[in-house]
Every structure is written in structure tokens, then in C-alpha cells.
Structure 1
Amino acid sequence: MNESPVAAPQAVPTPTHVEPEANTRFSRLRERADELELFISGLLAFALLAVPGYLFDAWARSSLHTEGMYFQLLWFAFSTVVGMCYVLAVALIAHLTVRGYWIGLVGLKSHFPEGIDWAALQKMGPVSRAFLRARDGGLDSSIQRADRLATLLFSTTLICVQTLAGTLVLAMVTLAIAMLIAFLAGGSDQVAMAVVGACLVSLLALAFVPFMLEKAIARRHARGRPSEGLERALQRFLAGMQRVPLLRLMQTMQLTIQSNLRSRSFMVGYLLAIGVAMVLAAVQVAGSVKFSLFNRYQVLTEEAVDNGMLSAHYESLRSTHDQLLAYPMIPADTISSSRLRLFIPHRPQRDNPLARRYCTALPGGENSAEGAPAARAAVDCLALIWTVTLDGKPVNLADFVPFERRDLEMRGLVGYLPLQGLAPGRHDLYLVWHAQGERTGPDRRREYRIPFWYTPDDSKD
């Protein structure tokens, strides 16, 4: 008895309209992506170049009032955000340039669909024409390459910004925890730095966990031994990392670019961009402190000017360029009145460590007195750190008083030096901070010379 053959199960037909519809939606989305890239780049590129200036002003004002971990916290936040702004702005300007080139190519394609008419280039020699023609990919190839480069620039920029933002958040949380532990331990910066170091080592160790587990699993497989436990541990670790929103957000974009380009080259460029971003803030600060980062002054050297006149010493001559130079100051380079106002700034970052060493009347270098004794204690302490002479004669700082200068965003000591009996003409103030200090290091001896001209006859005009 012949059995009728059993019909093979037929596959469920896939609706034919799904793929074309999805492709249509993607095409429309792709066209919109180019427009959105241009809109975002144009909106942010040049606006971001102005942000570091505002951030620098805010940081400069705040950094003068802090020390220790508070200073480190401000510095890391400032340097990261400034670097993020510069990297993002430069990358977006480059993206605008490439995307503009792409638009130009698309316009040429619409008017000259055949591309270069090599036959019309009669004035070009046959060898040059043949060489260039063999290496020309045509408008379509150029459009595709420009489009690809613009998209890669835009996506890589976003990855760098996300990395810097994540680093900033992580560092702020780590520093906050370290400062809290240090506060509970008595306010020791050494404890805070130890906590920060332990956190950084732990984070670096976490980054190597997947690599080490994969190596261990591979070794067990090579020996024919089971590795289910290690695999489950690795999967749990990766699942835990996936709970970090920023890592999950970066993963698809980063791995897509990394897998479609040379992985090592991408990682080198990516890490280089992050490193450059972290250095840019230091360059901006150095540019504010230095008269010029790049110069060829062979006669009027920095040493010569330090022993001459600096605008930072004269309130009437100071500018925004002198914002970070918290130097001793007098009103102007010419003085007509009978007394000279001398303002000596107090910088917690420098003065507080010395106060803890020399000001034995202040337990731990902290002035806890109230009323008039608080002012007296502050003057007595800073008088141990500063020495002042006028034309070689010592100036007694006991008559100085604490002064809060809202116009300069500084606190310090102010004294009014009598000028009666001085001859008209040049006179020199000489101030030394930490005269017992070494030649190098943060607590090194620092000298300030302030020449001025006494012109008593001008007040009578």
C-alpha cells in the first residue's frame, strides 16, 4: 500500500511590504540625520568657544578662596568642562567643514551628473590627465567618503563628550566621598587623597576584570575543563556594568565605530582626544599667568621685568589678564598723598599650610577667636609669613588690619605707610613671602618688588 508523501511544512510567508517600508523610513530618517547634524553643529560650534572664558572667570574667582581638596575639586571640574567645550567646538567646526564640502559635492552632482569631463581638459598633459583619472573615484565616491567622514566625526565627538562627562561625574562623586571621609577623620587632606587613590585603583582594577576572566575561561577551554562558573561571573559583571546608563549609551556607538575601523587606530585617536581635552585648561591658565606663552624676548626677559615693574602690583593698572596674580598691591605707580595704601592678599592655598606650621597661637592654623581678637590673631599670624621693607627699612605689620576687597574678590591685610619726610622721586617696596622657604616647591620663598614714585607737589596743583 503506497503511502502518500507527507507535505513538507511551508514557511510562514513574511509580509513583503515590511522591508520596503522599513527602508523607506530609514531613508527619510537618514536625510533628516544630515540636516540635524548641520543644525546641531552650527548651533553649538561657535557658541562653545565662548563658554571657556566664562568658566575661567568663575574658576579664577572661586579658586582664590579655597585650598586642599576643595581646590582640587574646583580644578578638576573646570579643566574637564573646559576641555569638553574646546574638543566639542573644534570637532564640530571640522564636522561643519566636511559637511559643507559634502553639500558642495551633492550640488555638483545635481548639475553635472557625469562628473569630470576629462576630454575637455585639453590644456592638461596626457600623463597628468591619465594619472589623475586613474585615481579619481568620481562624484559618487567622493560624496560617499565625505558623508562617511562627517558622520564619523560627529559620532566620535559625541563619544568623547560622553566620556568626559562620565569622568567628571565619577570624579565629583569620588572627591565628594573622599572629602566626607576626610571630614569625619578630622579634615585631613592626606586621608582624602588616600581615599581618592584607593578609588582610582579600584576603578582601574574593574576595567581589567572582563579581560582577566576571558583569559581564565580561554585557558580552561584549552585544557578541556568546564568554565560555567567563570562564565556566569563574567555575565553578572557585564550585567552590572550595563546598569550604568552612560556605559550602555556609549556602547552601541563606540563598538560600531571601533569594529568598522581599525580598532587600534580608533582607540589611539579616542584616548588622545581625551588627553588633549584635559590639558587644554592648564594651557588656558598658563596663558593667563604668563605674559605670553610664545615670545622671543631676549633683552626684556621675565627676570628683568620681575625686578622692574609688573602691572599686577598697581590697582590702577590691573586688567583681567592679572586675575590669577594675587600679588601685593598699591593704588598706582605714582603716589601724591601722604600715606601709601599697601594691600597684601591672603591666599588659603598657600597661606593655610604655613599657618598650621608657624602660627602656634592658632590650633591647627584655624582662627577661632571672636570680635577684635580675631582680627588681631589674623594679623599676628600673617606677620609671621610676610616681611615688608620700604627703601630697605622694615615695616611693622602690627598696624595692618584685615581687609575684604569685594572689588578684587580677595581678602588680605591692609596698611597705610607714612610717606612724610621721603624725598620726591622713586622709592621701592620689597615684600617676601615665607622668607625661610626653599628655592623650589609650593612653599618656596617668593619676592615682590614694587617701585613707585612719590610726587607730593602734584597734590597742590
Structure 2
Amino acid sequence: MSEALEPGSTPDPGSTDHPDAAGRFARLRERTDELELFISGLLAFALLAVPGRIFDAWATSTVHTEGVYAYALWFGFSTSVGLCYVVAVALIVHLAIRGYWVGLVGLKIHFPEGIRWDRIPLLGPVSRAFYQARVGTLEQSIANADRAASTLFSATLLFALTMVLIGAGSVLLLALAGAVGALVGNTDRIALIIVSSFFGLFIVVNLVPLTLEKWIARRTARGLPSARIARTMRGVLTINQWLIPMRLLLPVQLTLQSNRYARNFMVAYFVAVMVAMSIGGLQAVGSAKFSLFNRYDVVTTEAVEEGMVSAHYESLRVERDRLLRYPMIPSDVVSGPLLRVFIPHQPQRDNGLARRLCALPDGENRLRGAAAETAAVRCVGRLWKVTLDGKPVALEQFVAMERRDLEMRGLVGYLPLSALPPGRHDLRLVWNPDGPDRGTARHRDYRIPFWYAPDPSR
């Protein structure tokens, strides 16, 4: 019970003890369903169109970088895409529940008596009792649907805020760690230390209060003082407050957690976060693979890799091939006397190998002018072995090239074909030919068949 007001005093309008507080909350409650429907309808289907643009931005940017910067791009991409998909699906479900609730309210208005069990045909006393016990009244169904819709809507907002904080915080941390690493040197190692230290601190400040709370409870049960431990615990909680915006997240989280099944709520909450973090990976894998689910028992992946893959031919590439950064030729049929071959340079894959094979200071090409281009061609050429119909192709005559149409840089060379007979020919390119069979540094074999059909008019 609230304390009685002093004579002549005025109740605080913002307090829940104010005589009109219940009325104000009731009036707000009459509008929340409308606001929920408006927000869900506005965002649900709009969010489904966003992941495609995020994927395009990530695919365009990630090819140019490596190390901690690539991790920052990946983390931002995966959290953003997962956020959009999970929130969109949750809001669509919310719209369905709220629509069901609207239908129940309409039935209640037109049929105030609700379900009239005695007038339902083909129901005997046993069936009627069974259904009455499990279905309940129309009023109960309305209340359950209303509660489910509001709970889902609030939980979705909580999840969205969590994902935004995780994504933005992690990308900012990685960017700062990369900047510090670039100033100190050995960017990736320094950045890894900073990021690991931060997440270690985050785990500690969340686990230590739980341990100290149990310790204080045991000491209190034995009649021992715990003032110093309590001060330490409050200090840890203060640090945690700076890491997590408690006033933004906890009102929703603690309300839902204390009014629903607490353990089940937290499990569902963390499962949703993990699912969201995995969606980006599935989208990237799905874009790189021909099909996530297939039954190609005859024309297998191994078979087409020894045959023809459209990503090797610029005229056959499509939007889904943008993650397949393969060596390329213009077309599967060549009529001119020269064959253009483009070998892409991928920093995430090539830089580590180049630091071992190329005599560049700190693994970087710091030369200027023609010397820079010569060093680039010589270095990338050491990563590849190229043959045409089994005969070695010298890469010294290749030149460095920037392909803005492909959003890639690499080497380009023009192979003479006039001495070849018409018909099929096979171009083979092997990356890191002396590499292992497994791992990111494994050798990679690309076969590009093409048909030479010289134009008689030339």
C-alpha cells in the first residue's frame, strides 16, 4: 500500500500512486494495439528488402581487405543481416497474432455470448467437457492473443536493440583495435589482443557478480559480515553498467523475464541471437554454392569443376557469382587471335602467401612507378602456375590491372592463339601449387575449357 498523502499536499502526476495513473495507463493501452500494428506493418516487409543491399555492400568491400578489417566487415554484415531477417519474421508473426486478436474481438462484439457449447452439433457431453476445458472462453482467447502479441512485440524490440549494440559495438571495437595496431605495428596481432581483452573483461564483469552474490549469501547464512565483498560487487556492477546500457535494455528484459518463464525466456533470447549471427554465413555460403540442397548424384561438383563453371567466363557470370573470384576469360568461345586472361588478387588469401614467397619489405609493395608494377606482377606470378594445353605460360608478360566492373584488381595477360588449331583447348591455373591439400593455404586448381573458332574474315 502506498503511504497516505499529507493534508493539503498534491500527488505527483508522474507517480503510479496518482489517482489518474490507472486511467492514463488504460487510455494508453487502448492505443498500443494500433501502434503495434502500425510499427509492425511498416517494418516487417521493408526489412526483408534490406539484407540484399547489405550483402552487396559487404561483397563489394570485403574483397579489398584482410585481417581485422575483414573481420569487422564480416561481423557488421552478419549481425545486420541476421537482425533484419529475425526481426522481419518476428514482426510478421506478430501481425498474424494481432490480426487473429482483431478477429476475436470482432466476434466478441457481434456475438457477446461467445461460444454457446449447448448449440454445437455432434458434440456429446464427454467431447464438450474436453473442449471446454482446453479451449476456454472467447474472452480468455482474446486475452491470450493480446498478451502473446504484446510479449512478442516487446521481445522483438529487445532483440533488435541487443543486435544493434552487439554489431555496432563490435565493429567499433575492431576498427579501434585495427587503428591502434596500425600505429603500433603488427596490426592483426595487436587487434586480436585488444579484442580478446575486451571480451574477457565483458565475461568477467558478468560472471563475477553471480559468484560474489552466492558467496555473500553463504556468509550471511553463517552470520559473517560481507560489507567489503558487497562494495567489490557494486564496483563490478558499475563497470558492467558502462559496458551495457542497462536503462535501455533491462526494463524490457526484466519485465518479460519476471512475468514469463525466466529460464525459457533467456534460452529463447540467446538462441535468437545465435540464429541471427548464423544467417549471414548461410547467405554467403548459399551465394557461393550452386545450391544448398541438391540431389546431383551424377553431375556432381567434382564433375563440373573438371568440366565448365560459368564463373570463369565473364560473359556467363551473374550476380550470384560475385563471391566466386576465379580466374576469368571473356567467353567460352574465342574467335580473336588473342585470349585475355584475368587472374584476380585477393588480399585475404594472397597476402599471407606473398609475405612468404615475395621479397617485399614487411610484405608490402612500397615501390613507386614502373618498379611497383613490375614487383606486383613478379610477386603475384609466384603464387600461380599457368598452363595452356599442358604447356607453361610465362606470367612475366602479364600486367597489373584494375577491373572496376568486377570490383577486383589482379593480373591480365593476352595469350596468342593463332598457332592453335580450331576446337577445344584447356587453360589451367593452380594457386599455390606446392601448398597442402587442406586449409586456407591449400593449392587450388582452376580448369577453364574454351573453344577456339577463328574468324576467317580476320
TM range (shorter): over 0.9
**Match for residue 289 of structure 1?**
288
Give 1:170's aligned residue. Answer: 169
Q: Which residue of 2 aligns with 1:135?
A: 134
Counterpart CA distance in 2 for 1:38 and 1:187 is 52
Q: How does 1:182-331 map to 2 (within 5 A)?
A: 182-243=181-242, 246-331=245-330
- Could you say if the C-alpha distance between residues 391 and 114 of structure 1 is closer, same or farther in structure 2, counting changes exceeding 3 Å? same
Q: Note if contact 1:343-1:413 (Cα within 8 Å) is conserved in structure 2.
A: yes
| CA–CA distance in structure 2, aligned partners of residues 203 and 304 of structure 1 | 49
Quick one: structure 1 residues 341 and 253, their matched pair in 2 at CA, closer, same or farther if it must change by over 3 Å? same
- C-alpha distance in 2 between matches for 1:344 and 1:168: 34
**Deviation larger for 158-167 or 404-413:** 158-167
1:95 maps onto 2:94 in alignment:
yes
Please tell me whether the aligned partners of residues 162 and 246 of structure 1 are also in contact (alpha carbons under 8 angstroms): no
Q: C-alpha distance in 2, partners of 1:121/1:319?
A: 60
Change (3 A) 1:292 1:387: same
Measure, in 1, the Cα distance between the counterparts of 2:211 and 2:173.
25
Counterpart secondary structure, 1:343: strand
- List runs of 5+ in structure 2 lacking aligned partners: none
Aligned to 1:344, what secondary structure does the other structure show? strand
Given that residues 333 and 453 in structure 1 are in contact (C-alpha distance below 8 angstroms), is that contact kept between their aligned partners in structure 2?
yes
User: How far does residue 425 in structure 1 lie from its aligned partner after superposition?
Assistant: 0.8
Q: 1:413 to 1:53 in 2, by over 3 A?
A: same
Per the TM alignment, residue 20 of structure 1 is displaced from its structure 2 partner at its CA by: 5.1
| One-letter amino acid matched to 1:289 | A
Instruction: Give 1:440's aligned residue.
Output: 438
Contact 1:425/1:455 (8 A) holds in 2: yes
Q: Give the match's secondary structure for 1:369.
A: coil
- The DSSP-based 3-state class of the residue aligned with 2:317 is coil
Task: Give, in angstroms, the shift of residue 170 of structure 1.
Answer: 2.5
The correspondence of residues 59-98 of structure 1 with structure 2, limited to 5 A, is: 59-98=58-97
Where 2:429 maps in the other structure, the secondary structure is strand
The residue type paired with residue 395 of structure 2 is: L
| Structure 1 residue 127: Cα displacement | 3.4
* TM-score (ref. length: structure 1): 0.94
Shift of 1:319: 0.3
Q: Distance in 2 between matches of 1:40 and 1:11?
A: 40
Once the two structures are TM-superposed, the CA of residue 137 in structure 1 deviates from its matched residue by: 1.3
Q: Specify every segment of 5 or more residues in structure 1 that has no aligned partner in the other structure, as ranges.
A: 1-9
Matched-pair contact (CA < 8 Å) for 1:181–1:191 = yes
Name the residue aligned to 1:25. 24
RMSD: 1.9
TM-score of the two chains, using structure 2 as the length reference: 0.94
Cα separation, 2, equivalents of 1:365 and 1:331: 32
Give yes or no for contact 1:431–1:448 (8 Å, CA) kept in 2. yes
* Post-superposition offset of 1:174: 2.4
Q: Distance in 1 between matches of 2:179 and 2:452?
A: 53
Using the TM superposition, give the Cα deviation of residue 78 of structure 1 relative to its aligned residue in structure 2, in angstroms: 0.6
Q: C-alpha distance in 2, partners of 1:346/1:37?
A: 49
Contact residue 76 and residue 168 of structure 2 kept, 8 A: no
Distance 1:385 1:203, change over 3 A: same
Aligned equivalent of 2:457: 460
Q: Distance in 2 between matches of 1:60 and 1:244?
A: 31
Relative distance call for 1:20 and 1:113 in structure 2 (3 A) is: farther
Q: Is the 8 A contact 2:180 2:187 kept in 1?
A: no
Give the aligned residue type for 1:135.
R
> Which amino acid is 1:175 matched to?
L
Correspondence for 1:401 among 393, 396, 399: 399
Q: Which residue of 2 aligns with 1:413?
A: 411
Change (3 A) 1:11 1:181: closer
The residue that corresponds to 2:383 in the other structure is: 385
Residue 33 of structure 2 aligns with an amino acid whose one-letter code is D
* Cα separation, 2, equivalents of 1:349 and 1:41: 40
Q: Could you tell me which residue of structure 1 aligns to residue 425 of structure 2?
A: 427
> Does the aligned pair in 2 maintain the 1:48–1:85 contact within 8 Å?
yes
Following TM superposition, by how much is the alpha carbon of 1:433 offset from its aligned partner in structure 2, in angstroms?
A: 0.3
Task: Give the Å deviation of 1:210.
Answer: 1.3
State the shift of 1:223 in Å: 2.5
Gap change, CA 1:376 and 1:243, over 3 Å in 2: closer
Secondary structure in structure 1 of the residue aligned to 2:112: coil
Q: CA deviation at 1:196?
A: 1.6
How far, CA to CA, are the matches of 1:369 and 1:416 in structure 2? 25
User: In terms of mean alpha carbon deviation, does 201-210 or 103-112 score higher?
Assistant: 201-210
Distance (Å, rounded) in 2 between the aligned partners of 1:245 and 1:217: 24
User: 2: CA distance between counterparts of 1:344 and 1:134?
Assistant: 71
Q: What is the alpha-carbon distance in structure 1 between the residues aligned to residue 202 and residue 45 of structure 2?
A: 35
Cα displacement (A) at 1:312: 0.3
Contact 1:59 1:78 in 2 (8 A): yes
Q: Deviations over 1:191-228 (max 9, x none)?
A: 32122222211211111121122122223212322122
Change (3 A) 1:240 1:193: closer
Contact 1:424 1:454 in 2 (8 A): yes
Question: Which letter does structure 1 place at the counterpart of 2:290?
Answer: F
Q: Which residue of 2 aligns with 1:339?
A: 338
| Matched residue SS, 1:428 | strand
Distance 2:172 2:322 in 1: 29
Q: Deviations over 1:57-95 (max 9, x none)?
A: 000000110011110110011111111111111111111
Counterpart contact for 2:205–2:240, Cα < 8 Å: no
2: CA distance, partners of 1:118 / 1:377: 87
Distance change in 2, residues 1:350/1:137 (3 Å): same
Contact 1:77 1:168 in 2 (8 A): yes
Question: AA paired with 1:297?
Answer: Y
Q: Which residue does the alignment assign to 1:3?
A: none
Q: Distance in 2 between matches of 1:307 and 1:113?
A: 72
The Cα of 1:125 is off from its aligned counterpart by: 4.3
CA distance in 1 between partners of 2:417 and 2:5 (Å): 105
Per the TM alignment, residue 19 of structure 1 is displaced from its structure 2 partner at its CA by: 5.3
Moved more, 391-400 or 240-249: 240-249
Distance in 1 (CA, whole Å) between partners of 2:433 and 2:236 is 56
